Amino acid sequence: MTADLNGHRFNDDVLASATDIAEARKRFPDLMHLLDHPELRQLLQAYDVPANAAKKRSQRWGILAVLLASLALIGAAATPLLHGLSEDCTRLVALIAAICGVASILIGLKGVLWSRAKVGWLHRRLMTERLRQFHFQAFVCRLNDIVVSLVDEQAAADYVTKRRSWFAEFRARIESGLVAEFTDLVAHDTKGDIWLYKPCTPSVRESGHAIPDQIFDAYRELRIRHQLRYANYKLSQGVGILPASAAAQIVLFSNVTLVGIATLLIIHLGIAVSVAIGGDSLQPSPWVHVIAIWIAIVALAVRALEEGLQPARELDRYRSYRAAVHAILERFEAAKWPWERVEIMREMERLSFDEMIDFLKTHNEARYVM
């Protein structure tokens, strides 16, 4: 998978690219039957690509609706500036403002209130995360099978055959009932079912098998540290006019708000000084009042974008997640006994599941309202 500009490689934890597979084969040669799952990788790509496209489409429609509404209000506020212009110019400005307002409402009804693109994105994102969880929950729920599969090539082949059956059960449960799964997870009165393997192995202390360190090493690198890198990536400063990074969006919106407040302060100080010096004879130009209204409209638009993109909640969520994953990594590396590490792996899967639910709820509730 190609790296992002900030250096993050997406889906390398499930070996999405030939480079990822080659690197994993060098580091964990005896575990490739476990780490390399072509059917899962192919299905993940089938959902991941349209999910990213649906996310962009949803955000573009929402931003466009806010932009058109802002232009409509700006046009309406410009009425005092139209005196002295020809009637045709006045009608043109009014027509453009009206068209922008109507278009904004129509886009809002079609693309935001119904939220087809956003819902499609969240459904597909749910599927990609459940696929990732299926891949790594095997380290916990099917640990005994994994240990046995390391005996020889035939044992590895037998594990792959079993996994094919488990994967078919997973698809029958999750993929065919994706909408119902999503509805259940975003409901406020349910917690959802984390485990995708039935039953899940209760405890390594009861297994009687010695667990090679390479299993734990692979889980640490591909699951725990990958999630930590991903959280750091989400918390990094992005690039662009409207960056994808929540931290960069907060900085952008804060700067726009501060500039607006400073401009309004200067305008009002200018009005106060002009009145104090010249009294009623020195009245500010209509432009001054119109610009003040325009600044208020821009502030309203920024607020609408914040409600739609939810950068503050996104930032808080990833900060908490990073701290929790970092704590898990420290405990995992300090653990002395295999059963301790397995219990920490359980916690990691629970943490990942809970973070997924928070993500789905946050964006399901987000609205571009102006």
What's this model's pTM, rounded to 2 decimal places? 0.80
Domain ranges of the chain: 12-365
Nearest Cα residue to 178 out of 313, 332, 47:
47
Residue 211 main-chain phi, psi, to 5 deg: -105, 115
CB 237 within 8 A of CB 243: yes
Type and span of the H or E element at 229? helix 225-234
Q: Tens digit of pLDDT for each residue in 305-344? A: 887 778 888 888 999 999 999 999 999 999 988 889 999 9
Contact indicator for 299, 260 with CB cutoff of 8 Å? yes
| Alpha carbon 261 to its chain's center | 30
pLDDT of residue 81: 78
pLDDT digits (tens, 9 = 90+) for 174-210: 988 899 999 888 887 667 789 999 877 655 554 456 7
pLDDT level of residue 2 (50, 70, 90 thresholds): very low
Cα(51)–Cα(340) distance, rounded to whole angstroms?
A: 37
Mean pLDDT value across residues 113-139:
87
Instruction: List pLDDT tens digits, range 215-265.
Output: 999 999 999 999 999 999 888 766 555 666 777 788 888 888 888 888 888
What is the separation of C-alpha 113 from the centre of its chain, rounded to a whole number of angstroms? 20
What is the residue whose two structure tokens read 């900085």? 251
Burial of 368 (0-12, 13-18, 19+ CB in 10 A): buried
Q: Tell me the C-alpha distance between 332 and 346, whole Å.
A: 11
Separation of first and last alpha carbons in the chain: 38
Mean pLDDT of 31-35: 96
- Which neighbouring-strand residues pair with 9? 3
Provide the mean pLDDT of the chain.
84
Q: What is the pLDDT of residue 46?
A: 94
Residue carrying the six token digits 């390479």: 214
Question: Could you count the other beta carbons within 10 Å of the beta carbon of residue 278?
Answer: 10
